[in-house]
Structure 1
Amino acid sequence: MRYKLLIYIILFIALPCFGQTYVFFGSYNWDKEQAGLYVFTLDTVSGNLTKASTLNSILNPSYITLSPNGNTLYSITESKTPGAGSVSSFRFNPKNASLTFINSQPSQGENPVYVSVHPDGKWLAEANYTDAGATLYPINADGSIGKATQHFSYTEGSINPKRQEKAHVHSALFSPDGKSLFLPDLGADKIHTFRFDPTEKQPLQDESFIKTISGSGPRHLAFHPNGKWAYCVEEIAGAVSVYSYNNSTLSPLQRIATHPESLESEDYESSDVHITPDGRFLYASNRGSQNNIAIYSIAKDGILTLLGYEPTQGLHPRTFTINPSGKFLIVANVNSSSATVFKRDAKTGLLEYITTVAGLKNVTTVVAREYR
């Protein structure tokens, strides 16, 4: 009986290491002496966030992502200083929630704003906003970033003289099947496209582009879990464009506003887009005067229907994420230096405000991952 009790006690103590959901935040951190990266645990019953660790050795980790296995976190160093931009890797230990710096590589362009990892975990792509372009890197077995394999740069602008005086690549995203890379270019009103072939010395092949509506400002792209549809949020015009995806090609299906018809603005500041794990709902964040999340249902043919808006309880929601179970939506509010947690209704898609975490100075980016 004593041995059974001892086993129960050991299991109880070890339990927090299993089935733990972590939430990672990055920020505009101009001072390396202050925290730039944060790790929180998410209570998947209540939705509460508890700080687990911080890291202060990186400048402006304003966009982050995780490797497919969750063992490595990748971040860009967003800087408008020529030659100062970079991409960095950090080893994550889920047992003590610690991040350990591995290495960095130069971004090959000014002001990197986005980073993503190929589904096979062996390649990393980053996008540069000011010195517009994108760079591809190999990922080594230990999670470190190898020297750049390919770099592309762009100059063409579009019709908005304030925002589109030249190209501004705002993201770089691999397709779920790993066969394509897409670069939404806010400045040129284009989505640059590549076929991805890892057997080639230079994997990005057959460069092309999709032209978006003039003045739309394509920013972020999200793929449906079925891999058949892609959704691009357009920052300047305030819209989500829906595309069918096949053989590295996007074909337009629909375009729907992220704002009420009564709202008139020169720049709607729509910023991020995500789809629930079950593929039934899509959410898009709006900054500026709105500071909300637009909520849509997704029909069986991929078409969106607007369901409503939910205030983010914070200012300038630059990015947000949905936890792996789809139960919670978590927002990074830059100007209020806060993160807000909402509970999702799985049937209706609507959001219920749960809690706010304050004191995350200039928080810009968030991603969640479950560890077993």
Structure 2
Amino acid sequence: MSFAYVGSFTAPERGGLGHGGISIFSRRGAAEWESVQVVERVNPSFLAFDRERRFLYTVQGNGCFVAAYAIDAASGTLTLLNEKHIGLYNGVSLVVDPTNRWLLVTTLNNGSGAIVSLRLASEGKIGEICDIEVPQGAHGPLESQRATQPHQVVFDPSGKHLIVPDKGLDCIHSYRLDAETGRIFMNHAFRRFR
């Protein structure tokens, strides 16, 4: 059986209908997709699995929370493990590191975006914040580019470097994650020539 997990904007100010959240669908072979579950949650706009696909994590667009869910391997349904207030607004992307010990989240935070590192417990729960890195650099040429706006966080194929495109600073940041401490260290910012 195959499963699909779909995040969404639910709040009217983000074009949502005021309800819904994470939609789970299943299918066998080439059959039609069938709805399995809708987890009510405000603006679960971006989802990420852990490396073993036992847990699902979500940010909260227009909010300050991240949440962890356990995945039932047979049915595909989700059970909330916990949620964590990260103190920064409008999470836009997240990824679990190759060791399955850290959750990295990018936030826009009303013009002072950041990358947040959170510890993950072996049972999938989100633990304490270990580091907050605010990207630095000159802003882009447009009026809308007055501060850092990290829009995504992914690992490069080696799993050693974080890649963070920044709409506000008009560059792509490269960071290193210390797998022992969860600290984030800047490697380089790649800027296009103007």
TM-score normalised by length of structure 1: 0.47
What's the counterpart of residue 244 of structure 1? none
2:43 maps to 1:60:
yes
CA 1:34 to 1:45, structure 2 compared with 1: closer, same or farther past 3 Å?
Answer: same
**% same residue:** 20
What's the counterpart of residue 77 of structure 1? 60
SS in 2 for 1:69: coil
What's the counterpart of residue 38 of structure 1? 23
CA 1:78 to 1:68, structure 2 compared with 1: closer, same or farther past 3 Å?
Answer: same
Give 1:202 deviation, angstroms.
4.5
What's the counterpart of residue 15 of structure 1? none
Counterpart amino acid of 1:203?
A: R
Structure 2 Cα separation of the partners of residues 167 and 89 of structure 1: 27
2:89 maps to 1:110:
yes
Structure 1 Cα separation of the partners of residues 117 and 25 of structure 2: 30
Is the 1:179–1:197 Cα contact (8 Å) retained in structure 2? no
Is the 1:190–1:210 Cα contact (8 Å) retained in structure 2? yes
Give 1:74 deviation, angstroms.
0.3
Structure 1 Cα separation of the partners of residues 175 and 167 of structure 2: 17
1:72-112, Cα deviation, whole Å (9 max, x unpaired): 11000111xxxx41211011102222211111222342211
1:151-173, Cα deviation, whole Å (9 max, x unpaired): 01246421111x32322110111
Question: Structure 1: which 5+ runs fail to align?
Answer: 1-19, 215-372
Structure 2 Cα separation of the partners of residues 202 and 116 of structure 1: 13
2:138 maps to 1:159:
no
Structure 2 Cα separation of the partners of residues 106 and 211 of structure 1: 32
SS in 2 for 1:149: strand
Give 1:34 deviation, angstroms.
2.6
2:135 maps to 1:135:
no
What's the counterpart of residue 33 of structure 2? 49
2:69 maps to 1:90:
yes
Give 1:33 deviation, angstroms.
7.6
Q: 2:79 aligns with which of 100, 114, 123?
A: 100
What's the counterpart of residue 28 of structure 1? 9
CA RMSD of aligned residues (A): 2.1
CA 1:104 to 1:210, structure 2 compared with 1: closer, same or farther past 3 Å?
Answer: same
Structure 2 Cα separation of the partners of residues 26 and 202 of structure 1: 26
What's the counterpart of residue 204 of structure 1? 184
Is the 2:99–2:179 Cα contact (8 Å) retained in structure 1? no
Give 1:24 deviation, angstroms.
0.3
SS in 2 for 1:138: strand
Is the 1:168–1:187 Cα contact (8 Å) retained in structure 2? yes
Structure 2 Cα separation of the partners of residues 33 and 94 of structure 1: 29
Give 1:140 deviation, angstroms.
0.5
Matched residue count:
187
Decide which structure has the larger Cα Rg and report it. Answer: 1
Give 1:187 deviation, angstroms.
1.0
Structure 1 Cα separation of the partners of residues 30 and 171 of structure 2: 42
CA 1:54 to 1:210, structure 2 compared with 1: closer, same or farther past 3 Å?
Answer: same
Counterpart amino acid of 1:195?
A: R
Question: Structure 2: which 5+ runs fail to align?
Answer: none
Structure 1 Cα separation of the partners of residues 59 and 89 of structure 2: 11
SS in 1 for 2:7: strand
Structure 2 Cα separation of the partners of residues 108 and 44 of structure 1: 43
What's the counterpart of residue 147 of structure 1? 128
Structure 2 Cα separation of the partners of residues 38 and 141 of structure 1: 25
CA 1:142 to 1:109, structure 2 compared with 1: closer, same or farther past 3 Å?
Answer: same
SS in 2 for 1:146: strand
Structure 1 Cα separation of the partners of residues 29 and 134 of structure 2: 42
